[in-house]
């Protein structure tokens, strides 16, 4: 009996020690114990890739990919603690090898393609938002990434019939995601573009050549049927909504309006084209998806930017929604409804929330009042202040001027509720 009690006490002691080891032990030991069971194998394969500066054994790529895709496809959060240890060294290889070999070298693509296969498999499992946090974002990398993507874009694939990926699509997707981070640098893009220093001075309303290069291949990727279309729309939304896109800050509104009209004019041509070609349909999906991404960013903080172009865009999508092309494509109707509700939010006037904090200066005596019975009443003045704020808030809500186009947008959203594809999208 005493022996059994001693055994139970020892087991309890071991359990307590194990918990203390988990709390105070190394991060890698805890992760290895509870999350990725194959971490030792993945770590050895990554160390081999990093030590050689490239993928020396092609089977290593597909081993890591199969571990991520086959076992953790539905549980991507289990891989997130390891993303920094995996993504950071791999992106360092892409960045350093591009600088070392040069973009003009044909060898650079053979180096980055296998690496991009691993990174894109993590994007597929964990989502791009979790992965791109560990991408390098130095200002000098912007021009490097643009040149690298142009290299991938201009290189023709060997064959379109293949059982296993050669890394072409993955490389383009990874570099597009990299650019979506780099275009957010807090500097004027024209100051980063080295081609301007070696050429003539730009006109006030003329965008930098680096911006034109990004716009050119982004529009091409909007015609793609794969994931590059969505990522290109993300890149365009972050690029075109930058506050310092225009060359001249003194002509801010005019320059910005002209910059957006350039893209909207291209989108107008795509939306108004009525053809049955499959490639045109992919381009149409890409244009609508890119516009929806742009209006999503604008809703987040800069809704006045696109107010001038909303009538033209709304006219195009209202006609397209009633066309036979939309009737045949459920995905197009889904994107059109999504774009419609984001246009509606942009049209609504800005309204300050009633719960906002207001800076005020009051003394302690004003917040505490003593009645005849000697009891303290707290917050009397605050209640009166809140009542005043609420009354002014309701008055502003009654005086709100809602554009007439909002009624048409609400009508289309209600019509979209009848569609089995769009009924869960209109409010997103």
pLDDT tens readout for residues 169-181 = 999 999 999 999 9
| CA dihedral (137, 141, 146, 152) positive or negative | negative
Model confidence over 24-80: pLDDT tens digits? 455 555 555 556 677 888 889 999 999 998 988 888 888 888 887 778 888 888 888
Work out the pLDDT band at 340, boundaries 50, 70, 90: very high
pLDDT of residue 346: 85
Residue among 58, 68, 119, 132 nearest 90 (CA): 119
pLDDT of residue 197: 64
Work out the pLDDT band at 327, boundaries 50, 70, 90: confident
Helix axes 107-126, 58-66, angle to 10 degrees: 10
Per-residue pLDDT at 116 exceeds 90:
yes
pLDDT of residue 163: 46
How far from chain centre, in Å, is Cα 3? Answer: 62
Q: Higher pLDDT residue, 126 or 11? A: 126
pLDDT of residue 392: 55
Model confidence over 123-166: pLDDT tens digits? 999 999 999 999 998 998 999 999 999 998 887 765 444 445 78
How far from chain centre, in Å, is Cα 400? Answer: 33
Strand partners, 377: 369
Most confident of the following: 19-23, 246-250, 364-368? 364-368
For the chain, give the mean pLDDT.
Answer: 77
Q: Report whether 205 contacts 258 (CB < 8 A).
A: yes
Which pTM does this prediction carry?
Answer: 0.79
Work out the pLDDT band at 88, boundaries 50, 70, 90: very high
């Amino acid at each position: 009996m005493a022996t059994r009690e001693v055994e139970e006490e020892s087991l309890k002691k071991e359990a307590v020690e194990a918990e203390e080891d988990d709390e105070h032990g190394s991060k890698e030991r805890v992760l290895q114990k509870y999350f990725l069971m194959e971490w030792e194998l993945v770590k050895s394969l990554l160390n081999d890739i990093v030590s050689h500066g490239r993928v020396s054994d092609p089977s290593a790529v597909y081993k890591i990919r199969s571990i991520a895709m086959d076992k953790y496809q539905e549980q991507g959060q289990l891989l997130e603690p390891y993303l920094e240890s995996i993504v950071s060294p791999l992106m360092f290889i892409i960045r350093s090898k591009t600088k070392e070999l040069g973009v003009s070298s044909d060898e650079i693509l053979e180096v980055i393609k296998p690496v991009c296969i691993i990174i894109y498999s993590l994007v597929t499992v964990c989502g791009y938002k979790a992965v791109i946090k560990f991408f390098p974002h130095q200002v000098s990398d912007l021009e490097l990434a643009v040149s690298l993507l142009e290299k991938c874009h201009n290189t023709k694939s060997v064959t379109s019939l293949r059982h296993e990926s050669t890394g072409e699509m993955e490389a383009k997707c990874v570099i597009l995601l990299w650019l979506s981070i780099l275009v957010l640098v807090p500097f004027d893009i024209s100051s980063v573009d080295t081609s301007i220093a070696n050429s003539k001075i730009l006109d006030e309303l003329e965008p930098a050549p680096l911006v034109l290069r990004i716009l050119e291949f982004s529009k091409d990727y909007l015609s793609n049927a794969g994931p590059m279309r969505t990522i290109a729309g993300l890149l365009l939304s972050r690029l075109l909504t930058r506050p310092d896109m225009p060359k001249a800050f003194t002509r801010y509104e005019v320059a910005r309006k002209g910059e957006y009209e350039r893209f909207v004019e291209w989108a107008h041509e795509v939306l108004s084209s009525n053809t049955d070609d499959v490639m045109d349909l992919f381009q149409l999906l890409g244009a609508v998806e890119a516009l929806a991404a742009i209006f999503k960013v604008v809703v987040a903080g800069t809704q006045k930017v696109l107010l001038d172009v909303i009538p033209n865009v709304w006219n195009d999508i209202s006609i397209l929604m009633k066309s036979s092309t939309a009737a045949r494509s459920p995905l197009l109707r889904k994107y059109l409804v999504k774009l419609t509700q984001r246009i509606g939010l942009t049209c609504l006037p800005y309204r300050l929330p009633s719960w906002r904090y207001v800076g005020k200066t009051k003394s302690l005596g004003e917040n505490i009042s003593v009645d005849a019975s000697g009891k303290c009443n707290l917050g009397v003045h605050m209640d009166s202040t809140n009542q005043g704020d609420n009354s002014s808030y309701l008055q502003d809500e009654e005086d709100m001027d809602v554009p007439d186009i909002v009624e048409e947008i609400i009508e289309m959203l209600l019509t979209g509720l009848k569609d089995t594809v769009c009924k869960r999208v209109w409010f997103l």
